[in-house]
Protein backbone atom coordinates (compact mmCIF):
# COMPACT_ATOMS: atom_id res chain seq x y z
CA UNK A 1 0.00 0.00 0.00
CA UNK A 2 1.28 3.45 -0.87
CA UNK A 3 2.76 5.57 1.90
CA UNK A 4 0.69 8.72 2.27
CA UNK A 5 1.26 12.05 3.99
CA UNK A 6 0.38 11.60 7.66
CA UNK A 7 1.37 7.90 7.73
CA UNK A 8 4.12 6.66 10.03
CA UNK A 9 7.29 6.25 7.95
CA UNK A 10 7.96 2.49 7.77
CA UNK A 11 10.93 1.36 9.82
CA UNK A 12 13.83 -0.63 8.36
CA UNK A 13 17.37 -1.68 9.06
CA UNK A 14 19.90 -1.45 6.26
CA UNK A 15 23.64 -1.03 5.76
CA UNK A 16 24.95 2.35 4.69
CA UNK A 17 28.21 4.17 4.10
CA UNK A 18 28.09 5.09 7.80
CA UNK A 19 27.23 1.67 9.22
CA UNK A 20 23.90 -0.02 9.81
CA UNK A 21 20.94 2.34 9.96
CA UNK A 22 17.89 1.49 12.06
CA UNK A 23 15.67 4.14 10.58
CA UNK A 24 13.43 5.00 13.54
CA UNK A 25 16.45 5.10 15.86
CA UNK A 26 18.26 7.24 13.29
CA UNK A 27 15.41 9.79 13.25
CA UNK A 28 15.62 9.99 17.05
CA UNK A 29 13.35 13.03 17.48
CA UNK A 30 14.84 14.98 14.57
CA UNK A 31 13.39 15.83 11.18
CA UNK A 32 14.64 13.57 8.41
CA UNK A 33 14.88 13.51 4.63
CA UNK A 34 14.99 10.10 2.96
CA UNK A 35 15.65 10.33 -0.76
CA UNK A 36 16.34 7.84 -3.50
CA UNK A 37 18.27 8.26 -6.71
CA UNK A 38 18.20 5.76 -9.56
CA UNK A 39 21.80 4.55 -9.77
CA UNK A 40 25.42 5.16 -8.78
CA UNK A 41 27.80 6.48 -11.44
CA UNK A 42 25.09 8.31 -13.36
CA UNK A 43 25.27 12.00 -14.27
CA UNK A 44 22.15 13.60 -12.77
CA UNK A 45 22.51 11.62 -9.54
CA UNK A 46 26.13 12.74 -9.22
CA UNK A 47 25.08 16.41 -9.34
CA UNK A 48 22.23 15.86 -6.87
CA UNK A 49 24.36 14.15 -4.26
CA UNK A 50 27.10 16.76 -4.54
CA UNK A 51 24.62 19.59 -4.09
CA UNK A 52 22.91 17.88 -1.15
CA UNK A 53 26.30 17.49 0.52
CA UNK A 54 26.89 21.23 0.02
CA UNK A 55 23.57 21.97 1.73
CA UNK A 56 24.48 19.98 4.86
CA UNK A 57 24.89 23.12 7.03
CA UNK A 58 21.41 24.28 5.92
CA UNK A 59 19.88 20.92 6.87
CA UNK A 60 21.73 20.95 10.20
CA UNK A 61 20.49 24.48 10.97
CA UNK A 62 16.95 23.12 10.65
CA UNK A 63 17.66 19.98 12.71
CA UNK A 64 17.25 17.69 9.69
CA UNK A 65 19.11 14.42 9.15
CA UNK A 66 19.63 13.46 5.51
CA UNK A 67 19.70 9.88 4.27
CA UNK A 68 20.24 8.86 0.63
CA UNK A 69 19.36 5.53 -0.93
CA UNK A 70 20.44 3.71 -4.03
CA UNK A 71 19.84 0.18 -5.19
CA UNK A 72 23.57 -0.41 -5.46
CA UNK A 73 26.02 -2.43 -3.38
CA UNK A 74 27.90 -0.84 -0.49
CA UNK A 75 31.25 -1.59 -2.17
CA UNK A 76 30.15 0.57 -5.15
CA UNK A 77 29.44 3.63 -3.00
CA UNK A 78 33.09 4.42 -2.18
CA UNK A 79 34.29 4.88 -5.76
CA UNK A 80 31.27 6.95 -6.68
CA UNK A 81 31.71 9.12 -3.57
CA UNK A 82 35.21 9.96 -4.84
CA UNK A 83 33.74 10.95 -8.23
CA UNK A 84 31.16 13.17 -6.50
CA UNK A 85 33.87 14.97 -4.57
CA UNK A 86 36.05 15.35 -7.66
CA UNK A 87 33.34 16.65 -10.00
CA UNK A 88 31.01 18.52 -7.62
CA UNK A 89 33.56 19.86 -5.15
CA UNK A 90 31.83 18.40 -2.10
CA UNK A 91 32.35 15.06 -0.44
CA UNK A 92 29.50 12.81 0.62
CA UNK A 93 28.76 13.86 4.22
CA UNK A 94 25.56 11.95 4.96
CA UNK A 95 24.83 8.21 4.98
CA UNK A 96 24.02 6.54 1.68
CA UNK A 97 21.97 3.36 2.07
CA UNK A 98 23.03 0.34 0.02
CA UNK A 99 19.71 -1.19 -0.97
CA UNK A 100 21.00 -3.64 -3.57
CA UNK A 101 18.06 -5.99 -2.99
CA UNK A 102 15.55 -3.14 -3.25
CA UNK A 103 14.07 -3.89 0.18
CA UNK A 104 13.56 -0.27 1.28
CA UNK A 105 12.90 0.89 -2.29
CA UNK A 106 9.92 -1.48 -2.45
CA UNK A 107 8.79 -0.62 1.08
CA UNK A 108 8.63 3.07 0.09
CA UNK A 109 7.28 2.50 -3.46
CA UNK A 110 10.39 4.08 -4.95
CA UNK A 111 10.37 1.64 -7.87
CA UNK A 112 7.75 2.47 -10.48
CA UNK A 113 7.74 -0.58 -12.76
CA UNK A 114 6.26 1.23 -15.75
CA UNK A 115 9.16 3.70 -15.60
CA UNK A 116 11.86 1.13 -14.79
CA UNK A 117 11.62 -2.35 -13.33
CA UNK A 118 14.68 -2.22 -11.10
CA UNK A 119 15.88 1.38 -10.65
CA UNK A 120 14.21 3.80 -8.27
CA UNK A 121 12.63 7.06 -9.35
CA UNK A 122 13.78 10.23 -7.57
CA UNK A 123 11.69 10.06 -4.39
CA UNK A 124 11.90 12.45 -1.46
CA UNK A 125 10.24 11.85 1.88
CA UNK A 126 10.36 14.50 4.60
CA UNK A 127 9.64 12.91 7.97
CA UNK A 128 8.86 14.77 11.19
CA UNK A 129 10.19 14.13 14.69
CA UNK A 130 6.95 12.17 15.29
CA UNK A 131 8.10 9.80 12.47
CA UNK A 132 5.12 10.81 10.33
CA UNK A 133 5.52 11.53 6.61
CA UNK A 134 5.11 15.28 6.06
CA UNK A 135 5.97 15.47 2.36
CA UNK A 136 6.57 13.13 -0.54
CA UNK A 137 7.68 14.09 -4.01
CA UNK A 138 8.64 12.00 -7.00
CA UNK A 139 10.65 12.98 -10.07
CA UNK A 140 11.59 10.89 -13.08
CA UNK A 141 15.19 9.74 -13.53
CA UNK A 142 15.92 12.34 -16.20
CA UNK A 143 15.08 15.41 -14.09
CA UNK A 144 17.32 16.49 -11.23
CA UNK A 145 15.42 17.74 -8.20
CA UNK A 146 15.59 21.20 -6.67
CA UNK A 147 16.99 20.65 -3.19
CA UNK A 148 16.55 24.34 -2.37
CA UNK A 149 12.83 23.59 -2.74
CA UNK A 150 13.19 20.74 -0.24
CA UNK A 151 14.65 23.25 2.25
CA UNK A 152 11.84 25.72 1.49
CA UNK A 153 9.21 23.08 2.23
CA UNK A 154 10.97 22.13 5.46
CA UNK A 155 10.87 25.80 6.52
CA UNK A 156 7.15 25.83 5.84
CA UNK A 157 6.52 22.52 7.64
CA UNK A 158 8.48 23.64 10.68
CA UNK A 159 6.58 26.95 10.84
CA UNK A 160 3.29 25.06 10.68
CA UNK A 161 4.39 22.68 13.42
CA UNK A 162 5.54 25.48 15.69
CA UNK A 163 3.17 28.37 14.99
CA UNK A 164 0.04 26.96 13.31
CA UNK A 165 0.56 29.01 10.19
CA UNK A 166 0.45 27.97 6.55
CA UNK A 167 2.50 29.41 3.70
CA UNK A 168 1.04 30.86 0.49
CA UNK A 169 1.93 30.24 -3.13
CA UNK A 170 5.64 30.65 -3.94
CA UNK A 171 6.36 31.65 -0.33
CA UNK A 172 9.98 32.17 0.64
CA UNK A 173 11.28 32.24 4.20
CA UNK A 174 10.82 35.72 5.70
CA UNK A 175 7.64 36.54 3.77
CA UNK A 176 4.14 36.86 5.22
CA UNK A 177 2.24 33.72 6.20
CA UNK A 178 -1.39 32.66 6.70
CA UNK A 179 -3.15 31.88 9.98
CA UNK A 180 -4.54 28.35 9.53
CA UNK A 181 -8.35 28.06 9.47
CA UNK A 182 -8.26 25.83 12.60
CA UNK A 183 -7.19 28.89 14.65
CA UNK A 184 -10.24 30.97 15.61
CA UNK A 185 -10.15 34.78 15.66
CA UNK A 186 -10.28 34.59 19.47
CA UNK A 187 -7.17 32.38 19.55
CA UNK A 188 -5.51 34.50 16.87
CA UNK A 189 -5.94 37.63 19.03
CA UNK A 190 -3.83 36.01 21.75
CA UNK A 191 -1.17 34.86 19.32
CA UNK A 192 -1.13 38.04 17.25
CA UNK A 193 -2.03 40.98 19.54
CA UNK A 194 -0.86 43.35 16.79
CA UNK A 195 -3.64 41.97 14.58
CA UNK A 196 -3.59 40.62 11.06
CA UNK A 197 -4.60 41.61 7.55
CA UNK A 198 -7.97 40.01 6.80
CA UNK A 199 -8.58 39.78 3.04
CA UNK A 200 -11.45 37.35 3.67
CA UNK A 201 -12.52 35.73 6.96
CA UNK A 202 -10.63 32.62 5.80
CA UNK A 203 -7.60 34.51 4.48
CA UNK A 204 -5.76 36.12 7.38
CA UNK A 205 -2.20 37.29 6.78
CA UNK A 206 0.50 37.92 9.40
CA UNK A 207 4.23 38.51 9.26
CA UNK A 208 6.24 35.30 9.58
CA UNK A 209 6.59 34.50 13.30
CA UNK A 210 10.18 34.67 14.48
CA UNK A 211 11.53 31.90 16.72
C1 LIG B 1 21.14 10.08 -14.11
O2 LIG B 1 21.36 10.19 -12.93
O3 LIG B 1 21.65 10.82 -14.94
C4 LIG B 1 20.22 9.02 -14.63
C5 LIG B 1 20.06 7.84 -13.91
C6 LIG B 1 19.22 6.85 -14.40
C7 LIG B 1 18.54 7.05 -15.58
C8 LIG B 1 18.69 8.25 -16.26
C9 LIG B 1 19.53 9.24 -15.79
What are the structural domains, with CATH classification, of the chain? 7-145 (3.40.30.10), 163-206 (3.30.1020.10)
What is residue 52's three-state secondary structure? helix
Closest CA to 122 of 149, 90, 98, 145: 145
User: E strand or H helix at 166, and its extent?
Assistant: strand 165-166
Distance 43 CA to ligand 1 centre (A): 6
- State the distance from the centre of ligand 1 to the C-alpha of 197, rounded, in angstroms: 47
Query: Does residue 112 line the site of ligand 1, with CB under 6 A?
Result: no
Helix residue spans in 13-73 (DSSP H): 23-27, 43-54, 56-61
* Residue ID of nearest Cα to ligand 1 atom 1: 44
Q: Are 126 and 135 in contact (CB under 8 A)?
A: yes
Q: Is the CB of 38 under 6 A from ligand 1?
A: yes
CA atoms of 77 and 75, how far apart (whole Å): 6
pTM of the model: 0.96
Looking from the CA of 139 toward its CB, the CA atoms found within 13 Å total 18
For residues 109 and 119, what is the distance between their CA atoms, to the nearest angstrom? Answer: 11
Compute the distance from residue 180 Cα to the ligand 1 centre, in Å.
Answer: 40
Q: Is 141 in the pocket of ligand 1 (CB under 6 A)?
A: yes
Burial of residue 210 (CB within 10 Å: 0-12, 13-18, 19+) is exposed
In DSSP terms, 31 is beta-bridged to: 64
Enzyme catalytic residues: 45
Which of 36, 45, 68, 123 has most ligand 1 atoms within 8 Å of its beta carbon, as the pocket-test mutant? Answer: 45
Question: DSSP assignment, residue 193?
Answer: T
In angstroms, the CA 165 to CA 176 distance is 10
Q: Give the position, in ligand 1's atom list, of the atom nearest the Cα of 119.
A: 6
User: In a structure prediction context, what are the per-residue pLDDT tens digits for the chain, which is 211 residues long?
Assistant: 899 999 999 999 999 999 999 999 999 999 999 999 999 999 999 999 999 999 999 999 999 999 999 999 999 999 999 999 999 999 999 999 999 999 999 999 999 999 999 999 999 999 999 999 999 999 999 999 999 999 999 999 999 999 999 999 999 999 999 999 999 999 999 999 999 999 999 999 999 999 7
Give the DSSP H/E element, type plus range, for residue 135: strand 133-139
Distance 78 CA to ligand 1 centre (A): 19
Amino acid sequence: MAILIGDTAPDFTLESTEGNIHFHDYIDGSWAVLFSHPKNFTPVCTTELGYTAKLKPEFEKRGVKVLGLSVDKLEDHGGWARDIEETQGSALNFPLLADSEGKVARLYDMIHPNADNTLTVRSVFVIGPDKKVKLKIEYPASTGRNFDEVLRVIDSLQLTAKHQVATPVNWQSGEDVIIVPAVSNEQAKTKYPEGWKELKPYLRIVPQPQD
